Copies of this chain bind each other. A is one copy, B any other.
Amino acid sequence: MADLRNMGGHGGEALLYLTDEQLRQGIEAMFFAYRGFTADPDRILQGMSYGRAHHRAIHFVNCAPGTTVNNLLNILGVTKQSLNRVLRTLIADGLIESRVGRADKRERHLYLTEQGRELEQKLSDAQRARMRAAYREAGPDAVAGFRQVLEAMMDSEMRRNYVALREGRA
C-alpha cells in the first residue's frame, strides 16, 4: 500500500484512488461520519417524543416554507402514511401549520410556527456546529471536494431535489 497523497490528480491518471481498498475505506468513512452527522440532533430529540423523522420533516418545511405534502413526500422518499404520522403529531403539537391551498384547495401548504422555528433552530444549530467544525478543520478546498463527491453519489432523482432546494423554491 503506497502513499496516496502524492498523486494530486491530473497528469498520468494513476487512478490509485479507485482501488477496492480505497473504496472500502470511503464506504466505512461514510458509515461512521453519518453516525456523527445525526448524533447531535438525535440526542436533542430523544426524550421529547420526536425522532429523526420529525427532524427531517421540520428541516425541509423550514427551508421550503409553503411546500405541499406531496412535494415533501418526494423529497423525503417515504410513503404518505409514514410522513402523515409524523406530520400529524407536529401539527397537533403546534410546530407545523397546515394551510389549505388558495389555487388548489386539495393541497395543504406547510409552514413552521414560531415554536417550530425554535426547535428547528436548536436542531440545526447543533448539526451545523459539527459541520462547521469539520469544514474548518478540513479547509475550503476539501469542502469543495466533499460536496462534489456527495453530489456524484446521489441518485439522479435525489440530485434533482437537491438542486431544486439549492436554487431557492422547490
Contact = CB atoms under 8 A, between A and B. Distances in A.
Interface of A: 5, 7-9, 16-18, 20, 22-37, 39, 56, 59, 63, 77, 124, 127-128, 130-155, 158-159, 161-162, 165-166
19 contacts: A17-B135, A17-B143, A18-B132, A22-B135, A23-B135, A24-B128, A26-B146, A29-B151, A30-B34, A30-B37, A30-B150, A34-B34, A130-B153, A135-B149, A135-B152, A137-B148, A143-B145, A145-B149, A146-B150
A163 to B, nearest CB: 10
A8 to B, nearest CB: 7
Q: Taking the full assembly, how many copies of this chain does it contain?
A: 2
Given A8-B141, A143-B17, A145-B138, A153 B33 contact: yes
A151 to B, nearest CB: 6
Contact of A28 (B22, B25, B26, B162): B162
A26 B147 contact: yes
A128 B23 contact: yes
A150 B149 CA distance: 11
A8 B34 CA distance: 26
Pick the most buried of A33, A130, A141: most chain B CB atoms within 10 A of its CB: A33
Contact of A17 (B5, B140, B148, B162): B140
